Amino acid sequence: MKIDFIYKQPKREDKYIKPLVEFYLSSYFPKIKKVDIDCPDKNNQYKAPDYFLVQPKIAIEIKEVHVKRV
């Protein structure tokens, strides 16, 4: 799956969104081959979701990330 970030300013959550998109979309939208990720909250005013997946039109707000190492 090809993932493109279409916003200019990197965010600290960027390291979490790519694995989430790869896992979630491959499980629930297996026909999608390309995903553009936009950032509606461009200036971090917290009035919009952290990310918007252009295909398949999903808004994502990252609140907390848990990593379990086995």
- Strand order through the sheet with 51-53: 2-5, 34-38, 51-53, 58-60
pLDDT tens across 27-37, in order? Answer: 999 999 999 99
Domains of the chain, residue spans: 2-60
Kindly tell me if the per-residue pLDDT of 42 is higher than 70.
Answer: no
Kindly tell me if the per-residue pLDDT of 17 is higher than 80.
Answer: yes
Length of the chain in terms of residues written: 70
Distance CA 7, CA 12 (A): 13
Banded model confidence at residue 5, pLDDT cuts 50, 70, 90: very high
